[in-house]
Amino acid sequence: MSIVVTGATGHLGRLVIAGLLEKVPAAEVVAVVRDQEKAAGLAAQGVTLRVADYGDPATLKGAFAAGDRVLLISGSEVGRREAQHRAVVDAAAEAGVALLAYTGVLGGPAADFRLADEHKVTEQVILDSGLPYTFLRNGWYHENYTENLAPVLEHGAVVQSAGEGRLASASRADYAAAAVAVLTGEGHENAVYELSGDTAWSFAEYAAELSRQTGKEIVYSDVPAETHLTVLTGAGLPEPFAAILVDVDAAIGRGRLAGTSGTLSRLTGRPTTPLSDAIAVGLENVRG
């Protein structure tokens, strides 16, 4: 049996591979990657590489083997993921893998924002495949906000359109640890895990923590959705993706990403990473 991680050179994938190498021999770990050169560091650690592309079903034919435990990390190409994920599921079913874990989105079928649409379709494709599955319904990442703090510091403002909505985010490392627990543990077949941070926070509280750590006044500027869209497109984001982010803010305002079930910390055996820690790392990166 091998443990196979797709999207293994991405932000989340690398963290999952690192966590697996702390638990199992490298010979049992397989990284599915698009670019073999980019994965040279994984190969050097003894990880087996299989080259495949979500967007090219033919390359996925040899990506999996009977008895594998597979983590399908959702693709990053919003709008193309339904077909891409279907190709991965088809290849996994044809190979007869023992478990297919999938990183979806918090709320699953109940999620009422556009970013969730492809995730909901993928979950149904997995159910229809008949494969043993685990749905890892990840909430929002701290890093969605803390990895690019330069504009916030430049303007002294956190610009969002989420009102007083609260967000129970966690770090990528937290979600990676949950995936590792499932891939290396037992009893996770046909389980659904709603994963989120231990503590929900508001953007006003986020701005206040930024102020505390920087010693500068950072305010929360809650703007109408149309204004938020203009800000994001003005910063260079394509309008379709910017519209999805504005739609997520509306969902945050409705409380759709505020749940604090504690499932993530129970799976990993430790509390989730505080937002303040992620802010500290983000500020350190900005300062170089």
Whether 129 is in a domain gets the answer: yes
**Predicted local confidence at residue 84, as pLDDT:** 95
Q: Total domain count for the chain? A: 2
CA distance 33 to 40: 10
What tokens were used for 137?
């319904």
Pairing of strands 69-72, 99-105: parallel
Is residue 278 domain-shared with residue 160, that is, in the same domain? yes
Is residue 62 domain-shared with residue 152, that is, in the same domain? no
Q: Which domain holds residue 42?
A: 3-138
**Predicted local confidence at residue 155, as pLDDT:** 94
Whether 46 is in a domain gets the answer: yes
Whether 27 is in a domain gets the answer: yes
Whether 96 is in a domain gets the answer: yes
Is residue 108 domain-shared with residue 214, that is, in the same domain? no
Q: Are 101 and 182 in contact (CB under 8 A)?
A: yes
**Predicted local confidence at residue 78, as pLDDT:** 86
Is residue 132 domain-shared with residue 159, that is, in the same domain? no
Is residue 56 domain-shared with residue 124, that is, in the same domain? yes
What tokens were used for 15?
């963290």
Is residue 33 domain-shared with residue 91, that is, in the same domain? yes
pLDDT surpasses 80 at 1: no
Whether 185 is in a domain gets the answer: no
Q: Are 102 and 88 in contact (CB under 8 A)?
A: no
Whether 192 is in a domain gets the answer: no
Is residue 150 domain-shared with residue 241, that is, in the same domain? yes
**Domain final residue pick, 97, 121, 138:** 138
**Domain final residue pick, 93, 119, 138:** 138
Say which CATH number the domain at 72 has.
Answer: 3.40.50.720
Is residue 63 domain-shared with residue 154, that is, in the same domain? no
Mean pLDDT of 245-266: 97
Q: Are 149 and 283 in contact (CB under 8 A)?
A: yes
Dmax of the chain from CA atoms?
57
**Predicted local confidence at residue 23, as pLDDT:** 97
Mean pLDDT of 175-204: 98
Is residue 19 domain-shared with residue 124, that is, in the same domain? yes
Is residue 118 domain-shared with residue 160, that is, in the same domain? no
Whether 118 is in a domain gets the answer: yes
Q: Could you read off the pLDDT of 55-96 as tens digits, one per residue?
A: 999 999 899 999 999 999 999 888 889 999 999 999 999 999
Q: Could you read off the pLDDT of 191-247 as tens digits, one per residue?
A: 999 999 999 999 999 999 999 999 999 999 999 999 999 999 999 999 999 999 999
Mean pLDDT of 179-196: 98
Number of other CB atoms surrounding residue 154 within 10 Å: 9
Is residue 207 domain-shared with residue 230, that is, in the same domain? yes
Q: Could you read off the pLDDT of 107-166 as tens digits, one per residue?
A: 999 999 999 999 999 999 999 999 999 999 999 999 999 999 999 999 999 999 999 999
Reference 53, options 19, 96, 85; nearest CA is 85
69-72 β-sheet, strand order: 48-51, 29-33, 3-6, 69-72, 99-105, 133-138, 191-195
**Domain final residue pick, 122, 138, 154:** 138
Whether 40 is in a domain gets the answer: yes
- At residue 245's C-alpha, the angle toward residues 239 and 246, to 5°, is 85
Q: Could you read off the pLDDT of 4-61 as tens digits, one per residue?
A: 999 999 999 999 999 999 999 999 999 999 999 999 999 999 999 999 999 999 999 8
Mean pLDDT of 94-106: 97
